[in-house]
Structure 1
Amino acid sequence: MIGSKRYNWVGVLLLLVFVFDGCVDLYQPPEVSAPNTYLVVDGFLNGAGTSTIRLSRTQNLAENRKPPVETNALVQVEAEQGGSQNFVDKGDGTYTLTDGGLQFGQNYRLRIKTANGRSYLSDYVTIKRTPKIDSLTWKPQREGVQFYVTTHDPTNSTKYYRWEYEETWEYYSAFYSQFEYLNREFVYRPENINHCWRTEKSTGISVGSSVKLTQDVINQLPLVFVSHSASNRLKVRYSLLVKQYALTNEAYEYWLNLKKNTESLGSLFDPQPFQTIGNIHGVTDPNEFVVGYLSGYSVEEKRLFVSPLELPSWRVPTGYEGCEADTFLLNPPPEEVGAEPMAEAGWLPIDAIISPQGIVYAYRLGPPDCVDCRLVGTNVKPSFW
């Protein structure tokens, strides 16, 4: 019986191969090309600072562009005890409320009216006070560095947490550019485009709960792992900024389900995707789906730095291993390509080559992505560096 089942499975697989191999028409599921443009609400009510709400629209997977933003909307926060405040429209889909005076322990909701007159309303949410982050720690492992977060609430009233983080690292491009090519001339470059910093925000969902513990403590929760061989993050200097938020039970369940939907798919035995329902609803059309979940809390932050001197003797890549420079003559024979055409084509000057008589007769040039570090970062030193 076992053998016959195995051959049955083989037959099914062969049939699938023949079926798919014989298909010539591209199949696009309805979700890929669906014209739905659901409202996306991203942000939270801040009990100790500026509240920021970002409004945008979903788009089908076939569109290769940034999601369209929702501008000229009226965004208000309403207190359950009465009264409302208007957010300021920044014109780019972002709406802010500075020093709104939102009170911890009080309930508020968000009301949105778009430019086309459609209205949306969130459930009331309670503004929670987020405990401070006790510590950020890290440990070198075989393949890189594991970072951990530890926190606790002495009042035992938080129980549910969410974290976001920002990575910033220092790096150098392959070549130091002394010159730039302007108006068909090589002149000294006034700024350094070899030394940069890059910042990336977390894209995954990190949540934790102490509800099953006797005390409200999150101890050494693994937050982010940085490989020493996959990027140049740990080459020069690395910084991690962690932001911590206190959640309600409902908000925790929302983020946990969203995490399962986005991170746990890939095999036959993973949980199957399902629609994650937020707490923002259509008023004009109650059946209209809205993407997002409104929460209320304060924000706690903590930053650390890691230097290569603190790490094992790893071979961390620069990110520019494949870069090569070429030398181009200023006055080449007619059949050769000189420096000027190459500079005009986008190659960037690196340095000059000088003859024994002190005359510049050639320049070294390199591809922009090997010379200009600003293509993937900024040469403006962060204020916290």
Structure 2
Amino acid sequence: MKNIKFLSFFWFSVALILTIGCVEQIDLKTISFEDALVVEGTITNESKIHQIKLSRTFKLEESMPRTESNAIVEVIDDLQNTYGFQEERPGVYLSETEFKAIPTRQYQLKITTSNGRSYTSHSTEITPEAQINDVIAVKEFDSNGTEGISIQVSSFNSNGNARYYRYEFEETYKIIPPYWSPYDAVVISDVAPFEVDFVPRSKEEKVCYNTINSEGIIQTETNNLVEDRVSKFPVRFISKEDFIIRNRYSILVKQYVQSIEAYTFYNILNNLSGSESLFSQNQPGFFSGNLFSNENSEEKVIGFFEVASVSTKRIFVNPREIIETTPSYISKCNLIAPELVNASGNSPLIEAIKEGTLKFFQVNGGENSPVIPIPGGPYQMAPLPCSDCTVLGTNVMPDFWVE
């Protein structure tokens, strides 16, 4: 999660040399540094492969967090059922089998790092369930007056014992390049006399899909309300100029019911990462989650092991049914017509085809052609993203997709 990475960046015991009002540029460097384990982990009531992420804090002059590899990671319940995790890629551990958290059962996360140090979470019980009732997409204006589409979620817990909620989402959008052609230009001869031919495209490049995950922390709570009801809570705002709503769009909203401890931890983390500057005078200190070192009670461990019930709901959106304008394509798509032979005797067209930077779109005018010609050679060519959707996504339709 983006914010946990922020926290690993943020927490170090440092002294920073800041000269207020000085015009001379200085390089900010870590003077002293405390290495700490950073843990991201949530298991839910979904029967699936669960994921735990491990990394280390990093210094100001470092650009990325350091992953924690070759660790032993286990989740153990109060009946001593053990669920082992294997490292799938650096710092990312996946459960060896599918499992789900069961009500009234207590769970602990246990970690042994490659240097032999061990860490444990407090025993944690899964939170009560609260089902998503509805997810809607409506026309809305954000705080800056920007028009767009607001994704809003509603849910209700009749027992009144959920109260604290965190949201994530996965959004998938359809990609259709504006200058796709069913034919590819291929080089027949790359020496004079230069020659090209046209063949049907060998793979699907007209319609693709791309899926991206939410970033940041999205939370709400109903603790001060009479009913444990979330009503049209906005989890996502998409500007009408955003390319992802140029065509059909889908979003899967995930609602996690949090404990008060988890909610507080994520809320503080969100407030810290939302500050205007890491280097403000009111520099907040370390705040603990629910993990600790087994060998050294003074050692800092960052993160939270969460056991949460989750409810999900997917919707599909045809943006033109909500807002009137069509966003611009993600890339500038100016057609060009490279010369087959230029004044130097070279072939810009052949070079572009061989380098794969341009794709054939259509013949560049000609007698009785309805195509408006442009200056240059015999064929109108398009930049790759404007004619081949696989540059921006996958040509495999997701299993859940419906038109």
Same fold (TM over 0.5): yes
Change (3 A) 1:83 1:349: closer
CA contact (8 A) 2:137 2:149 kept: yes
C-alpha separation between the residues in 1 aligned to 2:60 and 2:392? 25
The alpha-carbon deviation at position 36 of structure 1 amounts to: 5.4
Letter in 1 for 2:137: W
C-alpha separation between the residues in 1 aligned to 2:33 and 2:397? 43
Structure 1 equivalent of residue 121 of structure 2:
122
1:296-326, Cα deviation, whole Å (9 max, x unpaired):
1232110111113422322422223x32122
User: Helix, strand or coil for the counterpart of 2:263?
Assistant: helix
User: Helix, strand or coil for the counterpart of 1:134?
Assistant: strand
The alpha-carbon deviation at position 35 of structure 1 amounts to: 6.2
Structure 1 equivalent of residue 304 of structure 2:
293
The alpha-carbon deviation at position 273 of structure 1 amounts to: 4.1
C-alpha separation between the residues in 2 aligned to 1:378 and 1:64? 29
Alignment counterpart, residue 149 of structure 1, candidates 140, 148, 153 = 153
User: Helix, strand or coil for the counterpart of 2:203?
Assistant: coil
Structure 1 equivalent of residue 52 of structure 2:
53
Structure 2 equivalent of residue 3 of structure 1:
none
Write the mapping of 1:1-385 to structure 2, written as runs, cut at 5 A: 20-21=22-23, 23-24=24-25, 26-30=26-30, 37-50=35-48, 51-64=50-63, 67-92=65-90, 93-100=92-99, 102-142=101-141, 143-177=147-181, 178-179=183-184, 181=186, 187-229=199-241, 231-265=242-276, 273-320=284-331, 322-351=332-361, 353=363, 362-385=378-401
Letter in 1 for 2:309: S
User: Helix, strand or coil for the counterpart of 2:334?
Assistant: coil
C-alpha separation between the residues in 1 aligned to 2:395 and 2:282? 44
Change (3 A) 1:263 1:181: farther
Change (3 A) 1:71 1:380: same
Letter in 1 for 2:384: P
Change (3 A) 1:285 1:345: farther
Structure 2 equivalent of residue 4 of structure 1:
none
Structure 2 equivalent of residue 10 of structure 1:
none
C-alpha separation between the residues in 1 aligned to 2:256 and 2:111? 24
Structure 2 equivalent of residue 5 of structure 1:
none
Query: Runs of 5+ in structure 1 lacking a partner?
Result: 1-15
The alpha-carbon deviation at position 267 of structure 1 amounts to: 11
Letter in 1 for 2:210: R
The alpha-carbon deviation at position 167 of structure 1 amounts to: 1.6
Q: Which moved more, 1:111-120 or 1:68-77?
A: 68-77
Change (3 A) 1:190 1:276: farther
CA contact (8 A) 2:30 2:61 kept: no
Identical pairs, percent:
27
C-alpha separation between the residues in 1 aligned to 2:115 and 2:68? 10
CA contact (8 A) 2:28 2:61 kept: no
CA contact (8 A) 2:29 2:61 kept: no
Query: Runs of 5+ in structure 2 lacking a partner?
Result: 1-18, 142-146, 191-195, 369-376
C-alpha separation between the residues in 2 aligned to 1:20 and 1:226? 40
Q: Which moved more, 1:284-293 or 1:233-242?
A: 284-293
CA contact (8 A) 1:181 1:348 kept: no
1:134-173, Cα deviation, whole Å (9 max, x unpaired):
1112321250111211111112211111110112111222
User: Helix, strand or coil for the counterpart of 2:245?
Assistant: coil
User: Helix, strand or coil for the counterpart of 1:250?
Assistant: helix
The alpha-carbon deviation at position 339 of structure 1 amounts to: 1.2
TM-score, normalized by length of structure 1?
0.82
C-alpha separation between the residues in 2 aligned to 1:245 and 1:182? 55
C-alpha separation between the residues in 1 aligned to 2:260 and 2:240? 37
Change (3 A) 1:38 1:312: same
Over the aligned positions, Cα root-mean-square deviation in angstroms equals 3.1
Structure 1 equivalent of residue 371 of structure 2:
none
Letter in 1 for 2:67: V
The alpha-carbon deviation at position 201 of structure 1 amounts to: 1.2
Structure 1 equivalent of residue 374 of structure 2:
none
User: Helix, strand or coil for the counterpart of 1:252?
Assistant: helix
C-alpha separation between the residues in 1 aligned to 2:209 and 2:120? 41
The alpha-carbon deviation at position 350 of structure 1 amounts to: 1.8
CA contact (8 A) 2:119 2:293 kept: yes
Q: Which moved more, 1:293-302 or 1:137-146?
A: 137-146
CA contact (8 A) 1:180 1:189 kept: no
Change (3 A) 1:383 1:270: farther
Change (3 A) 1:38 1:282: same
C-alpha separation between the residues in 1 aligned to 2:180 and 2:386? 9
Letter in 2 for 1:113: T
Letter in 1 for 2:156: H
User: Helix, strand or coil for the counterpart of 1:369?
Assistant: helix
CA contact (8 A) 1:72 1:91 kept: no
Change (3 A) 1:86 1:347: closer
CA contact (8 A) 2:358 2:384 kept: yes
